[in-house]
Amino acid sequence: MIISVPKESAPGEQRVALTPDVVKRLVKQGVEVRVERDAGLAASHADADYEAAGATIAADANAAWQADIVLRVGKLADDEVGRLREGSILVGMLYPLTNPRLAKQLADRKVTSFSLDQLPRITRAQAMDVLSSMSTIAGYRAVLMSAATSGKFFQMLVTAAGTIAPSKVFVLGAGVAGLQAIATAKRLGAVVSAFDVRPAVKEQVESLGAKFVSPEADLSAEGEGGYAKELSEDQHKKELEFIGQHAKDMDVIITTALIPGKPAPELITEDALKGMRHGAVIVDLAAEMGGNCKLTEAGKTVEKHGVTLIGPLNLPAGMPVHASQMYSKNIVTLVSEFIGEEGAIELDFENDVVGPSTVTHQGEIVNERVKDAVGA
C-alpha cells in the first residue's frame, strides 16, 4: 500500500500532512510512503529528512497524487481532484458542510474520502482531533497578535514613571481556542474574563485564573458533542446586550465562537464597537465563517470606530512546525484505523470513528449531513 503526501497548494498554507517522525511509524507498519519534492520545506522538513525516515520522494506532482491513500491539510483545487486516482482514498480537513461542491466532485471521481472535521467528539477519537489541535494554535497566536497590535503592556508594571495597570482581555467562547487564549493572556499578565453560552465551561475558565462572566438571564445553549448551539432570538438579544456592556472597558477581545456547518454567530454589534475604548483590539477567529464582530473583514486588519479589527485566516499555518507535528499524529491515528496486517487497507464503516468521518464512497456521498448540505 502506498500513502502519499502532495505539496500543499492553498495560498499561505505552510503545513504538511506528514512529518518524518510519523513516516517512520508508517514504514514500520509495512506502508510505502511517497512525498512530493519540497512538500515539508515550509514546515522545516527537508526531503533528506523524509528519505532518512524511509519515504521516497515523488518524481513529480502527478506521481504524488497517484497512491492508495492521499493525505492532505488544506483546500484542494479543482485540478487536484482530477489528479486523484479513481478508487483511491483521500484523508484531510475537507469541511464538506461548508464546501459541498468538493464532496460532489469527490463522489463523481469515485474517491473514498474521510474528513477529520467530521470526527465524533468521543473519548476514543481524542488522539485524532485535528480541530482541537489547530484551535490550540489559533487561540495562542490570537493573543500574541493582539499583544503585538495593542498600544499597551499586558502585564502590570511598577516603574519609576509610575504604576502601569494590566490590560483587560475578554475572550468570547471557551472552547479549545478560547481556553488556550485565556491561558496565554494570563501568562502574559493580563486580567482575563470570558463568556460562553455553555455553563459547563465555567469551571474550566476559572481553573485557568480567568473570571467567567454571564448575565443573570439563562442563556444556556449546550449542543451535541460539547459544541454550542444557536440561541433563540430573545436569548441572542440579551446576549448581545450583555457582551456590549462588558466590552466597554476591555483593551483586547478575542472572539472564537463557531457553530459547526453554519455562519459564525454575531456577538459584537456595531453599537458595541462604538462603545469600546479608543485603541482597543479585537481578534476575530471566526472571520472565515463571517465573523463574530459585525464589521470584521476576513483576511484584513481594519480600524472601525477607533477599534482595530483583525480577521485572520488559517492561523495554524503560521506556526507550521508544531502545527504539522500535531496534525500528522492526528491524521495517522485515524488512518491506522483502516490499515490492517502487512499494510493492507481494511475499511470498516461500522467503526465508531471511521463511519462518521466518511464523506464519499463508491461514487456516492454517504454522510447524511453532507447530503443535506449538497441538497441545500
CATH number at 12 reads 3.40.50.720
The pLDDT value recorded for residue 234 is 84
From residue 222, how far is each of 197, 227, 327 by CA, in Å? 7, 6, 27
Q: Is residue 81 part of a domain?
A: yes
Task: For residue 293, tell me if it sits in a domain.
Answer: yes
Same domain for 296 and 185? yes
Q: Is residue 39 part of a domain?
A: yes
| Grid cell listed for 96 | 464538506
Task: Say whether pLDDT at 91 is over 60.
Answer: yes
Q: How far apart are CA 95 and CA 86, in angstroms?
A: 21
Name the average pLDDT for the chain.
Answer: 93
Buried/exposed 11-48: b ≥16 CB within 10 Å, e otherwise: eebbbbbbbbebbebbbebebbbbbbbebbebbebebe
Q: Are 198 and 301 found together in one domain? A: yes
Report if residue 218 sits inside a domain. yes
What's the domain count of the chain?
2
Contact 96, 118 (CB under 8 A): yes
Last residue of a domain, one of 317, 335, 366: 317
Q: CA-to-CA distance for 135 and 244, rounded, in angstroms?
A: 25
Q: Is 296 found in the same domain as 154?
A: yes
Do 246 and 307 share a domain, yes or no?
Answer: yes
Give Cα 95 distance to the centre of its chain: 11
- 145 and 290 fall within a common domain: yes
pLDDT interval class at 94 (50, 70, 90) = very high
- Which positions ≥6 away from 299 have C-beta within 8 Å? 287, 311, 312, 313
Confidence of residue 358 (pLDDT cuts 50, 70, 90): very high
pLDDT, tens digit (0-9, with 9 covering 90-100), for 239-269: 999 999 999 999 999 999 998 778 999 999 9
In a domain, 88, yes or no: yes
Same domain flag for 86 and 153: no
273/350 same-domain check: no
Out of 161-165, 226-230, 300-304, which region has the weakest mean confidence (pLDDT)? 226-230
**Residue 352 CB neighbour total at 10 angstroms:** 13
Q: Give 350's contacts (C-beta < 8 A, 6+ positions apart).
A: none
CB count in 10 Å sphere of residue 180: 24
- Looking at the fold, whether 224 and 261 belong to one and the same domain comes out as yes
Is 129 inside any structural domain?
no
The 10s digit of each residue's pLDDT in 127-151 is 999 999 999 999 999 999 999 999 9
Single out the residue in 294, 317, 340 at which a domain terminates: 317
pLDDT digits (tens, 9 = 90+) for 4-29: 999 999 999 999 999 999 999 999 98
Answer whether residue 204 shows pLDDT above 60.
yes
On whether residue 130 sits in a domain, the answer given is: no
360 contacts 55 by C-beta, under 8 angstroms: no
- What digits encode the pLDDT tens for the residues 151-200? 999 999 999 999 999 999 999 999 999 999 999 999 999 999 999 988 88
Could you report the per-residue pLDDT of 272-284, keeping only the tens digit for each? 999 999 999 999 9
Nearest to 179 by CA among 152, 204, 146, 142: 204
Residues 295 and 161 in one domain: yes
pLDDT, residue 95, reads 93
- In sign, the C-alpha dihedral spanning 10, 296, 196, 230 is negative
Active site (catalytic) residues: 121, 126, 129, 132, 227
| Res 217 pLDDT > 60 | no
Question: Rounded mean pLDDT of 87-94?
Answer: 97
- Is residue 158 located within the same domain as residue 250? yes
* CB contact burial 64-80 (16+ within 10 A = b; e otherwise): bbebbbbbbbbbbeeeb
Q: In this structure, are residues 165 and 338 in contact, taking their beta carbons and an 8 Å threshold?
A: no
Give yes or no: residues 153 and 299 share one domain: yes
Question: Is residue 125 domain-resident?
Answer: no
Q: Which 8-state DSSP code applies to residue 155?
A: S
Average pLDDT over residues 49-66: 94
Return phi, psi of residue 335, to 5°: -60, -35
Which structural domain, as residue segments, surrounds residue 142?
Answer: 135-317
pLDDT at position 341 is 75
**Across residues 352-375, what is the average pLDDT?**
94
Distance CA 284, CA 219 (A): 22
User: Is pLDDT at 230 greater than 70 in this prediction?
Assistant: no
Question: Under a CB-based contact definition with an 8 Å cutoff, are residues 358 and 367 in contact?
Answer: yes
The C-alpha cell 450583555 sits at: 242
pLDDT of residue 376: 66
**pLDDT for the residue 85:** 95
pLDDT given for residue 222 in this prediction: 54
- The separation between the first and the last C-alpha atoms of the chain, rounded to the nearest angstrom, is 37
Q: Are 51 and 106 part of one and the same domain?
A: yes
| Residues 239, 219 contacting (CB under 8 angstroms) | yes
Whole-angstrom CA distances from 201 to 204, 205, 263 are 5, 6, 22
Confidence of residue 326 (pLDDT cuts 50, 70, 90): very high
Give me the mean pLDDT over the 95-120 stretch: 95
Point out the domain boundary residue: 317, 350, 365. Answer: 317
Structure confidence at residue 344 as a pLDDT band (50, 70, 90):
confident
Q: Cell digits for 266? A: 454575531
In the chain, % of residues over pLDDT 90: 84
